[in-house]
Structure 1
């Protein structure tokens, strides 16, 4: 496993089915053929998600195992995730209610998590 430098990003997001609406503050959009999904600023009453970024350990697309090194300890801790990626890093979104558990699991796996 490759230890990574991670950072909990500011902001609280909602993960919703469908395309962004006019005026949405969009953090990510996945244009999948049967299930477009938008990550946007959360509105009152919605479940909130927090993003943990691996930009402190930026890597190329050819680097194997970087995402797995984050997901394996989170799965072992029973933390659900939604993952988006850039060409150099990953954003692992976790339910805000599980953020502390996620940070603990990642830290115990050898990663450095900045809050």
Structure 2
């Protein structure tokens, strides 16, 4: 009985680890600068062309180029944080909350 419990426990642990790695092949990298942010979408470490990127609180959508990158202008200079979301052409989604730089002249 003890061997069965150990086997079931190991199976459950390996399944949850495997499931976690299956969902983590999409990555969203954000580099903020004063006037906006560079956003790069990667899948399995490779750039994703054609992904639609948006920033919470804005109406604008941007599409990544062949290097998986797009520049998103800061529409609200006094925003402290925001959530970038990306949707790939096959419908996969990823989001990342980031701290946005503030205009230092306030």
TM class by smaller structure: 0.3 to 0.5
Q: Radius of gyration: which is bigger? A: 2
More strand by share: 2
Q: TM-score, normalised by structure 2?
A: 0.37
